[in-house]
Amino acid sequence: AACTELGAILAGMRRGVAFTGAGLSTESGIPDFRSPGGLWTRNKPIDYGAFLSDRAMRREAWRRRFAMEEAFAGAAPGRGHRRLAQWLAGGQLAGIVTQNIDGLHQASGVPDERLVELHGNTTYATCLDCGERYELDWVRQRFEAHALAVPDCLDCGGPIKTATISFGQPMPRTAMVRAHELTRACDVFLAIGSSLVVWPAAGFPVEAKRHGATLVIINREPTEFDEIADLVIHADIGDVLDAAAETK
């Protein structure tokens, strides 16, 4: 019944926004953060200040990243990614705002101009001082060849970090501006696979609702914003989006 209702909302959607979290990628074999077995249940996050000031922390951050390489490098878009890419190509979705760092929206064919990455991207690295881009393979070769010492920027000597946003790190300005624009202009806001506990990202569903959008939340677990949503579905994302697409 909920999927029929979602089908009806999707049928009328003209400039929707999908707002995605780690739950979208669990089907692709990438663990989320807060479910049992999630990343933050195993490791405490390394915040930005610690990464900058402490070489041992920097090394630990890279060790963890390389330990995840198989999951990230081997991952392919799941059913949810594919449905969203389809609705975007069909013109019902105006854009996708993601907290995910795995590059799977791009892999499903979403063009950069339709995608906002609020928390950056872990599939490559940059120098925090000069912005020079480094590929992970290059970092890893150095790391392993130099007794797990983290390489510094070849140009300026600055610290090299995956192109992600850590706790304590400023949000990317352009991404925030674009996310606000999409959120204020949308008719339907689909919050998919996020616990909605991390700010400022968690503010977007509220902002959409305040600007008149129909708010839909699809997540296995309840969220704090379920009570302001127009439709809440607690089920598997792939199942829900496929079912909704078929009833539409």
Residues 139-158 binding Zn ion (CB under 5 A) are 153, 155-156, 158
220 binds ligand OAD (CB under 6 A): yes
- C-alpha 103: how far from chain center: 8
163 binds Zn ion (CB under 5 A): no
Maximum CA extent, the chain:
58
236 binds ligand OAD (CB under 6 A): yes
Closest by Cα among 122, 119, 125, 123 to 152: 125
- Could you tell me the end-to-end alpha-carbon distance of the chain, in angstroms, rounded to an integer? 12
Among 16, 77, 103, 193, binds ligand OAD (CB under 6 A): 193
34 binds ligand OAD (CB under 6 A): yes
211 is catalytic: no
How many of the chain's residues bind ligand OAD (CB under 6 A)?
23
Region of 191 on the Ramachandran plot (φ > 0 left; ψ -120 to 50 alpha; else beta):
beta
Residue nearest ligand OAD by beta-carbon distance: 23
Taking a C-beta distance cutoff of 8 angstroms, is the pair 171, 180 a contact? no
Q: Which stretch binds ligand OAD (CB under 6 A): 27-35, 55-63, 140-148, 208-216?
A: 27-35
Taking a C-beta distance cutoff of 8 angstroms, is the pair 12, 248 a contact? no
Q: Which residues bind Zn ion (CB under 5 A)?
A: 127, 129-130, 132, 153, 155-156, 158
> Catalytic site residues?
119
